[in-house]
Copies of this chain bind each other. A is one copy, B any other.
Amino acid sequence: MRFGIIGGGSIGLLLAYILKENGTNVEIMTRTAQQAKVLRKEGLHVVSIEGEKKSYDVGAIPLENADWNVYDGVFITVKSYDLSQLSSYVAKASKKLPIIFTQNGLSHFTFAQQFPDHFLIAMTIEHGAIRKSLHTVEHKGEGSIRIASFTKKGIPDSVKQLGISFQEEKNPWEMLLRKVTLNACINLVTALLKMPNGALLENASANRLMKQLYEELEAVFPEIKRLLTFTEVEALCEKTSRNTSSMLQDVMANRPTEVDAIAGELVRLAKEKGKSLPTLQTLVLLLEAEQMEKGVTTND
């Protein structure tokens, strides 16, 4: 089997590593020709959780030159704010091609609704990963992977046989709501406070803030209580205690963050229910204000 991965960021490279470990033929579709060249020439370098260095031969091609229909399935791992640039590609793709989205937040939930006849699937990945160079990724923490189909077509055998250990979920909305709650609680707070995930357990005020945010979300979306307890949020902080959240990595690198994908849809849906999310809104405005001061704008 041959799978394509769009995006050579930390999640794209991590997925390539997981697939290669299980003997899948992988091709990474990169934004820049430079990254495709480096990956082809140097191979994919991985520092495993145990600190072991491994390398793998991978295919790589600039996205603009790629034909998605040569693959048995395509993972889209680009940041959510870059998703809109892929609309025309998805529109042109075969309706039989499984396309798997790994974004944080909820904006791909809306994105997928534009393509009701395509074979779209959502995946949430709670692993920690940091990209160290154009072709090197460090695997920082093991976590669960969940998968849910956006359509009635379910999960195809080609994906089930990839050797990725995942939990299959029936309801993509609930799966994404669970993940976005984790991301809001961990990523927004750590990005503002410039803290590793574990500090949310050690710093009493940061912990109270994370709890306030969790309770505010749970009050507006009561299904969260069933999907994710606060103890589980804390357990993920513990498990990834020395990790820098992806949003903090973005802030540190003066890149746009996924704050809109993570919070924007939550705020809109709360409004539809006649409710507000002032704690979340405060964190969003603070992050936006910081980014504005630094001159970082989103790609939207």
Chain A residues within 8 Å of B, Cβ to Cβ:
192-193, 195, 199, 203-206, 208-209, 212, 216, 278-279, 281-283, 285-286, 288-290, 292-293
Number of copies of this kind of chain in the complex: 2
Contact check, B212 vs A288: say whether CB atoms are below 8 A apart: no
Chain B contacts for A281, CB-based, 8 A:
212, 279
B292:A216 contact, CB within 8 angstroms: no
Residue from the list B195, B285, B288, B289 in contact with A293, Cβ < 8 A: B195
In the bound complex, do residue B278 and residue A206 qualify as a contact, i.e. CB atoms below 8 Å apart? no
Report how far A283 CA is from B204 CA in the complex, Å: 14
Q: Are B282 and A193 in contact (CB under 8 A)?
A: no
Q: Label chain A's interface by main secondary structure.
A: helix
Taken together as a complex, chains A and B put the C-alpha atoms of A286 and B281 apart, in Å, by 14
Using Cβ atoms and an 8 Å threshold, which residues of chain B touch A212?
A: 278, 281-282, 285
Return chain B residues, CB-CB under 8 Å to A208.
Answer: 285
Name the residue in A279, A281, A282 with the highest tally of chain B Cβ atoms < 10 Å from its Cβ: A282
Which residue of B206, B278, B290 contacts A285 across the interface (Cβ within 8 Å)?
A: B206
Does A293 lie within 8 Å of B216, measured CB to CB? no
Closest CB in chain B relative to A128 CB, distance in Å: 21
**Across-interface contacts of A203 in B (CB, < 8 A):** 289, 292-293
Return the 3 tightest CB-CB contacts between A and B, nearest first.
A205-B288, A205-B289, A209-B285
Give min CB distance, A114 to chain B, whole Å: 29
